[in-house]
Amino acid sequence: MRLAFLLVIACSSPLAAQSSRLGAEIDRRAALVEGKVVTWRRDIHAHPELSNREVRTAQIVAEHLRALGLEVRTGVAHTGVVGVLRGGRPGPVVALRADMDALPVTEEVDVPFASKVRATYNGQDVGVMHACGHDAHVAILMGVAEVLAAMRRDVPGTVKFIFQPAEEGVPAGESGGAAMMIAEGALDDPKPGAIFGLHVFPYPAGEIRYRAGALMASADGLRIVVRGRQTHGAQPWSGIDPIVVASQIVMGLQTITSRQVDITAAPAIVTIGAINGGVRNNIIPDSLVMIGTIRAFDAGVRRDIWMRVRRTAENIAHSAGAVAHVTIDSGPPVTYNDPALTERMTPTLRRVAGAGNVGMAEAKTTAEDFSRYQEKIPGLFFFLGITPPGTDPRSAAPNHSPRFFVDEVAFPVGVRALAHLAVDYLTSTH
């Protein structure tokens, strides 16, 4: 028994020593790029670009990766950039991803590099802001690329850097995002065995939160057109009122998650966000349009809700002599962290941030199209806290707010986390 134990130690010691040496080198080089990461982030923040319009950002990324000696492919899913770093030693392939797009939000944060950019979004003049922190994601991953490129001789395998456009959703009539990145080969030649990504979030700065299994919800667009029969508002019996029918449908939809779905198994949400119809107070319109969102944490529950939404809307409309046309736009699936991969890599997160600064995240009903990659290969997505010390995270402006603020002190943790995850995965995969 003692001999077997000694043999195990003897075989594992070189691997442990190698991992420790590479880890120390990552930390040293991460400290060297800290200032660059901040500079990149501020520049990108001051020049935000909407989904599928990330031309300047993509150019900055591509030029940086080329300068590092990576194989670079541009124009993926319109403006996406994929860089490949081939290590000096043979090994597996791992991917790291950052999203690049900003939001149609007018910034209200008082910083010298605040966005003053305006653009047209779906026909409207809007302010543009990195209100979800994608500027930080890009800068952090650029820093990771510089760290690992400087160590390429010792990297045991290949690292793919995926800079993705349109995570926030594409403009009307366009395609893009993670699904298009995958369709255009972002995960091919070579194919990664795993993918890692992070998202800044109003947790305390420098802290990391993760969760095995379902971390973020699926997000599906819902559109219901209710067709009745137009008539005078003073004679409702002469027509079929789609407004009353729509009101009944809204109430009926709420019973799906409150009475029909087992919410102890997986939470779910059906929300109607807008109802548009009619032009005068005394005209019952011929039709109206309702739009909303469906959120779920389980693929089976998600499909079940689709069926129930259609049945509820169509049958309520039929009972009134109206017709309901239901369209469900399948969006990002559940962001699902592979349990085995998560368990395997959690020690890396604790080593990087400190065990006391790593904890379990609550499931989020927001969505992320990082989940598209997780449908193809195992993935781990985690949150990086960016709320300044002295600010209660519960009162901090949330992502997508015009007052969303990122404390840059968290960036070194982000750079080290992604770099260590990549190298630890490559080193421990056989």
| pLDDT surpasses 90 at 159 | yes
Six-digit token string for 179: 């699904």
- Which pLDDT belongs to residue 15? 54
Q: What is the pLDDT, as a whole number, of residue 4?
A: 45
The pLDDT tens digits for 135-152 are 999 999 999 999 999 999
Q: Tens digits of per-residue pLDDT, 278-314? A: 999 999 999 999 999 999 999 999 999 999 999 999 9
**126 beta partners:** 119
pLDDT tens, position by position, 307-331: 999 999 999 999 999 999 999 999 9
Q: How far apart are CA 238 and CA 242, in angstroms?
A: 13
Q: What per-residue confidence (pLDDT) applies to 18?
A: 67
pLDDT of residue 93: 98
Averaged over 46-68, what is the pLDDT? 98
pLDDT at 17: 64
pLDDT of residue 274: 97
Q: Distance between CA atoms of 144 and 157, rounded to whole angstroms?
A: 16
Residue 16 CB coordination number (10 Å): 11
Q: Residue 117: phi, psi to the nearest 5? A: -75, 140
The pLDDT, as a whole number, for residue 145 is: 98
For residue range 318-364, list pLDDT tens digits in order. Answer: 999 999 999 999 999 999 999 999 999 999 999 999 999 999 999 99
Res. 7: pLDDT tops 70: no
**Which sequence positions are flagged as catalytic?**
101, 167
**Where would I find the beta strands (DSSP E) of 100-183?**
118-121, 124-127, 156-164
| SS3 per-residue string spanning 205-235 | CCCEEECCEEEECEEEEEEEEEECECEECCC
Radius of gyration of the chain (CA): 25
Please provide residue 7's backbone torsions phi and psi, each rounded to the nearest 5 degrees: -65, -40
Instruction: Look at residue 96 and tell me whether its pLDDT is greater than 70.
Output: yes
* Band of residue 10 on the pLDDT scale cut at 50, 70, 90: very low
Q: Percent of the chain, pLDDT > 70? A: 96
**Number of separate helices (H) and strands (E) present in the chain:** 9, 18
- CB within 8 Å of 156: residues ≥ 6 apart: 87, 89, 90, 91, 423, 426, 427
| Residue 83 structure tokens | 């860089």
**CA 430/CA 413 separation, integer angstroms:** 27
At residue 122, the pLDDT reads: 87
Residue 203 near residue 393, CB atoms below 8 Å = yes
- Per DSSP, what are the bridge partners of residue 417? none
Average pLDDT, the chain: 95
More confident residue, 13 or 227: 227
Average pLDDT rounded to a whole number, residues 261-275: 93
Residue 376 is encoded by which pair of tokens?
């193809």
* DSSP string for residues in 264-297: TTS-EEEEEEEEE--SSTTEE-SEEEEEEEEEES
pLDDT at 6 over 90: no
pLDDT of residue 9 exceeding 60? no
